[in-house]
Amino acid sequence: MEEIGHWINGKRVAGTSGRFSDVYNPATGEVQARVALASPAEIDVAVADAAKAQLDWQKVNPQRRARVMMKFGALIERDMDKLAEVLSREHGKTLPDARGDVQRGLEVIEVCMGAPAFLKGEFTGDAGPGIDLYSMRQPLGVVAGITPFNFPAMIPLWKMGPALSSGNAMILKPSERTPSTALMLAEIAQEAGLPDGVLQVINGDKEAVDTILDHETVQAVGFVGSTPIAQYIYGRAANNGKRAQCFGGAKNHMLIMPDADMDKAADALIGAGFGAAGERCMAISVAVPVGDAAADALIERLVPKIEKLKVGPYTGGDDVDYGPVITAAAKERILGLINSGVEQGANLVCDGRDFSLQGYEDGYFVGPSLFDNVTPEMDIYKEEIFGPVLSMVRAKTYEEALDLVIDNPYGNGTSIFTADGDTARDYAAKVNVGMVGINFPIPVPLSYYTFGGWKKSGFGDLNQYGPDAFRFYTKTKTVTARWFSGIKDGASLNFKALD
């Protein structure tokens, strides 16, 4: 059986801790590999070597670092299909969805080709008599990225692109459930010209995470995962004096106004609710039609579309709509939440609990489920299901629907479908959510903006990718310089203005 190790100093190395975790094929339930779980000693070595490599990497001028990103992006595009295959084999998502995973990460790398523009400082000449004032952005040193199973390419690229192009070295710890894509990306980065040691990929579990969080050389940590773990990592990192940007769970709502195009709204809900088996932090898991007429019209359109969804393995062809969930435990949790919805009085319109695929009976497949008449007190509303389950909460008015979103503890993404510009504008202004879509179901911003949620969906002041990422991975140094040029000031003990 294949044993997956780490990427240290420009090569794959075997783990030495003696601890391993199984890597499953979600479509069959079979163990397809074992991944090494790093010990604190292994991480200490990786961090020390990264710190040495970073000293030379930060001296490479920003334009030349950007050239590495340019070649890195070209090689990712070259190997798109290979990356998608590796990703799908471990995650289970369809090949088209896997290619999209890689593509959205690649777009951040493309923005990082313009890193010199983000790294410029400021300059003021003659800020005072003979005084120039200027600032510069400098790398932090060694930083870390801790990334989730559901986007094995995209989120590691979101982390490594800005961090590396800013002159840092990175310790990347991908999910132990989907470890191979990150290792392949490290190999591609080396081919693109990234010096050995600047990117270290360490596989591991909580022991590895805690070691990274406590390591005095690691200056910053970026994380994406569930809210409880995001809170834990943010708190422990901050307690250790590190910068942290930690993104957690979500409960994303889509409002459907009575004047919306119901066919387009239904299509949007199918894609946003069931794509990738619902294992997306930006998935729409709650539909909020305003008025019973809108709700009934949506149900009428959604049911036949849901019944036609094709669930299967990634090898089943491009007509497979979504694949299995990641683990047997995830499947059981999703089924348990569906059962709770039935027990608590929601109307299960489409029931995916008994789905079984011939030849893949041991796979982690869950059929698509649709609930109607869900209320905020129910577990299926309160919990992030992270599965192919769409809940419909009927609202009588726009104000009631808006309050539902405002009162929700999560604030990652939201959407409104309407033909009325005033309503859309009002919603975008008032809703306390980080990313808003108007007639757009999954409002993930393009890579030259920035990604981040509010409330319990995000912890930290700066978001992922875009300008915020370069602010996060650098620190500002401000210099006040005086050239006397005949100025005859005597000694002064007073604190005074430059002029």
Burial status of residue 438 (CB atoms within 10 A of its CB: 0-12, 13-18, 19 or more)? middle
Task: Determine what percent of the chain is predicted with pLDDT higher than 90.
Answer: 94
d(CA 96, CA 276): 10
In the numeric block, the tokens 């649709």 are attached to: 370
User: Could you please report the per-residue DSSP string of 200-242?
Assistant: EE----HHHHHHHHH-TTEEEEEEES-HHHHHHHHHHHHHTT-
- Write b or e for each residue in 88-115: b if 16 or more Cβ atoms lie within 10 A of its Cβ, otherwise e: bbbbbbbbebbbbbbebbbbbbbbbbeb
Question: Is residue 246 annotated as a catalytic residue, yes or no?
Answer: no
Instruction: Report strand pairing: 199-201 vs 169-173.
Output: parallel
- Which is catalytic among the residues 112, 246, 281, 350? 281
Report the candidate in 339, 352, 280, 341 with the shortest Cα–Cα distance to residue 310: 352
Name beta bridge partners: 22.
34
Tokens in use for 326?
Answer: 């990641």
State the average pLDDT over residues 164-176. Answer: 98
Q: Locate 42 and state its tokens.
A: 């292994």
Q: How far apart (Å, rounded) are the C-alpha atoms in residues 110 and 112?
A: 5
Global confidence as pTM: 0.94
3-state helix, strand, coil in the chain (%, to 5): 40, 25, 35
Weakest mean pLDDT among 97-101, 130-134, 223-227, 308-312: 130-134
Give the integer Cα–Cα distance in Å for 198 and 82.
Answer: 24
Tokens representing residue 232 in the block = 């834990």
Contacts with 429 (C-beta within 8 Å, 6 or more apart), sequence order: none
Q: What is the pLDDT of residues 110-155, one digit of tens each?
A: 999 999 999 999 999 988 888 999 999 999 999 999 999 999 999 9
Q: What is the pLDDT of residues 310-354, one digit of tens each?
A: 999 999 988 999 999 999 999 999 999 999 999 999 999 999 999
In this prediction, residue 455 carries a pLDDT of 96
Mean of the pLDDT values across residues 452-460? 95
In order of their start, the domains of the chain are 2-248+457-479 (3.40.605.10), 252-438 (3.40.309.10)
Q: Which of 207, 139, 183, 135 is nearest to 471 (CA)?
A: 139
Q: How many Cα atoms occupy the beta-carbon half-sphere of 450 within 13 Å?
A: 19
